Amino acid sequence: MKPIRLHLDGIAFWAPGIDSWAALCGMLSGGAYMPSDNWQVMPHSLSRRSALRVSPQIRLAVAMAEQIAPLLHHNAAWVFASSAGEGETLQVMLEALRKPDMMIQPVRFQNAVHNAASGQWSIAAGITQPMSSIAAYDHTVGAGFLKAGSQVAIERRPVGLVFYDVPLPEPLNAKRPLGIPLGAGLALSPDPGSTTKAVIDVELSDAPVTIPQSDVSLALAAAGNPVADILPLMERIAHGTMGETVIGLHGGGALCLRVSLP
């Protein structure tokens, strides 16, 4: 695989108690992580009524897209990556199927598919550019990065990359525990610009994956949400340090992300 060069123009991040990339940077510089059990994400592009009708997964994904959208050109494509997708909607539909009348609200059907979050974002933001939705279980971050990076390189267009996963309701949670909700977003471009934070050269690797170093990242990763795989890269960018970060891929491979300053 020939190395792919990407320019990182913006970052979004969300976790219980961390509501932005700036907040995460502050904690990575020595702040203490104080998780919050009472978490709510309310995206601005959806009316409050619309937001309350969709799942927490969709609200988190749309909120991440909102944070990076201003840093992307109007012709940007989008990649949404989630290992679990619509867990809450799936649970509601499964419960309904157990009952004799099987009553399911019509809105549930349109939000039952894995690309529901990207669909809601495309409607809310009026986006007509290519939109992809990806899942690769525990290696969803690597798969999403590979898809988005390839699209930037081949199509020579910016790509908004959104990661999101929210704990599933019981009994699904017992089979697929995700610990805590996590969301992240990256604005990627083929060319440098005035907002470029870092240059990332991407290539396939067989090196071991990079382990988070900070107490905050270790605490977030310990919860078990696959989105935490992006944290070693975010640590490097937050500290402004050059070097390699390795993210795992399904099947035993990996991506090496070589970070340099713009």
Query: Could you report the per-residue pLDDT of 2-31, keeping only the tens digit for each?
Result: 889 999 999 999 999 899 999 999 999 877
Tell me which H or E stretch contains 131: strand 131-134
Q: Evaluate if residue 108 carries a pLDDT over 80.
A: no
pLDDT digits (tens, 9 = 90+) for 44-72: 888 888 777 788 899 999 999 999 999 99
- pLDDT of 105 reads 66
CB 241 within 8 A of CB 132: no
Q: Is 51 inside a domain boundary?
A: yes
Q: Is 253 inside a domain boundary?
A: no
Residues 6+ apart with CB under 8 A from 185: 10, 11, 12, 13, 64, 65, 67, 68, 160, 161, 162, 163
pLDDT digits (tens, 9 = 90+) for 35-46: 777 778 888 888
- pLDDT of 99 reads 77
Q: Evaluate if residue 34 carries a pLDDT over 80.
A: no
Q: Is 156 inside a domain boundary?
A: yes
Q: Evaluate if residue 112 carries a pLDDT over 80.
A: no
- pLDDT of 87 reads 77
User: Mean per-residue pLDDT for 186-197?
Assistant: 96
Q: Evaluate if residue 170 carries a pLDDT over 70.
A: yes
Q: How far apart are CA 66 and CA 14, in angstroms?
A: 12
Q: Is 151 inside a domain boundary?
A: yes
Residue tagged 């995460």 (tokens): 24
Q: Is 202 inside a domain boundary?
A: no
Tokens of 11: 């970052």
User: Mean per-residue pLDDT for 214-241?
Assistant: 95
The residue range of the domain holding 168 is 11-195
pLDDT digits (tens, 9 = 90+) for 73-87: 999 999 999 998 887
Q: How far apart are CA 247 and CA 253, in angstroms?
A: 9
Tokens of 235: 């640590």
CATH number at residue 68: 3.40.47.10
For residues 39, 42, 48, 51, the Cα torsion angle rounded to the nearest 10 degrees is: -90
Structural domains counted in the chain: 1
- pLDDT of 254 reads 97
